[in-house]
Structure formats: C-alpha cells, structure tokens
Amino acid sequence: MIPVVLALLFCHALGQLNLPAHFNWSDCGPADRKIRISSLHIDPVPVKLPGLMTVTLDGTIAGTLPADVTMDANVKKWTLGQWGNMPCIHNVGSCHYDNPCEFLKTFATNGCPHQLVENGLPCTCPFAPEKLHMTREIFNVSHIPDTYGRFVEGTYRYHLEIKQAGHVIGCLSADITMSSSTSFGFLFG
C-alpha cells in the first residue's frame, strides 16, 4: 500500500513540474519610456517550432531611437518546478547586446520582412517616432538549428530591456509555452 501511495504522490508532483500552455505579457519599465506596447497576441499557444506563428501588435515609439541603444535579454525556462536561466549561446538566450542595430543592418541589404513592410514598420535603425500596428501577420519559422532544437519544448519567461545611455526606454516581459514539431531526441529521435 505504501509504495502505491508514494507512486501516486510522485506522479502528482511530476504534474506540478509542468505549467499549462499559455502566453501572457506585460509592458514594463519607467513611465517616461519611449517604446510602449499596448497589445500583443501570439497564436497558436503553445507556439510550434518549426512552424507558423500569427502575431498581432499595437504600440508606439514616442521619440527617435538612435543607433546607440543596448539591449538586455533575460531568458528563463521552467524546468523541474522552477525557473532556470538559459545561457547566451550564439547570441540566443540571456544575452547583452551592445548594439542591436548591428543585427538589423542585414535588413538594409536583404530587405525587411514583408510582414513589417506591409504594415509600414521599420526594421533598421534609427527608428523615428510612430505608431506600431501589425494585424494577424503570419511568420514562418521554417528551421530550428539542432543547437537550439533540443531546448524548444517548454515554458519560457522573457524579459527584454532596451536602454539608451543606461536608461530603460523600452521593456517587455512575457511567458510563453513552445513545443517542437520536430524530434530532437538524443536516444530515440
């Protein structure tokens, strides 16, 4: 009888280790921030990667954002009943970016994603003041490198801060559940 009770308690505890699939977010930062997100929706939840993801966004950029901004990304994954920090691997994960505009320079030569162009949204620095609006745009994440594929499955907590001269000018926190549509198993995958 005792082994059965212990087995049931163990199964119940394992159930507590996983969070239900969800997406929630908040615009964070000081009252005088330049970047504000008023609405953000992602579908489906859980997000399946690789796969299609629909994004709806509303917000504002209240002042010109120069090219000398920095960005801090803090990424945590819900693992074994607690949040664990994800390291920065090849500029993905919990990373500090001295000049995120450098990443965006590839769009200057290769062109902006059509989802941004069709909604009049910029994709290179500097960013001028404007209203941000994107309605139900579909993004196709067609490939996840093996380096990251093993980490896709689960619930993540993101906290992004954009700073200018050390002052937070934009902030977004989000929890999102993702699932893999590809097998990345090391024993049977």
Pairwise CA distance, residues 107 & 92, whole Å: 19
Instruction: Provide the pairing of β-strand 82-85 with 130-141.
Output: unpaired
pLDDT of residue 1: 41
Radius of gyration for the alpha carbons in the chain, expressed in angstroms and rounded: 19
Please give the backbone phi and psi of residue 31, each rounded to the nearest 5 degrees, phi first.
Answer: -65, -25
pLDDT of residue 17: 54
pLDDT of residue 144: 78
pLDDT of residue 29: 87
Domain residue extents for the chain: 2-180
pLDDT of residue 183: 60
Residue 180 burial (10 A CB sphere; 0-12, 13-18, 19+)? buried
**Which of the four CATH numbers 3.40.50.720, 2.40.30.10, 3.40.47.10, 2.70.220.10 does domain 2-180 have?**
2.70.220.10
Residues forming beta bridges with residue 57, ordered by sequence position: 40, 134
pLDDT of residue 102: 83
Total-model pTM: 0.80
Residue 128 in contact with residue 122, Cβ under 8 Å?
yes
pLDDT of residue 75: 97
pLDDT of residue 158: 97
Per-residue pLDDT 10s for the chain (189 aa) are: 443 333 333 433 444 456 688 899 999 989 999 999 999 999 999 999 899 999 999 999 998 888 889 999 999 999 999 999 999 988 889 999 998 888 788 787 888 888 888 988 888 888 888 999 999 999 998 887 776 767 788 999 999 999 999 999 999 999 999 998 776 555 444
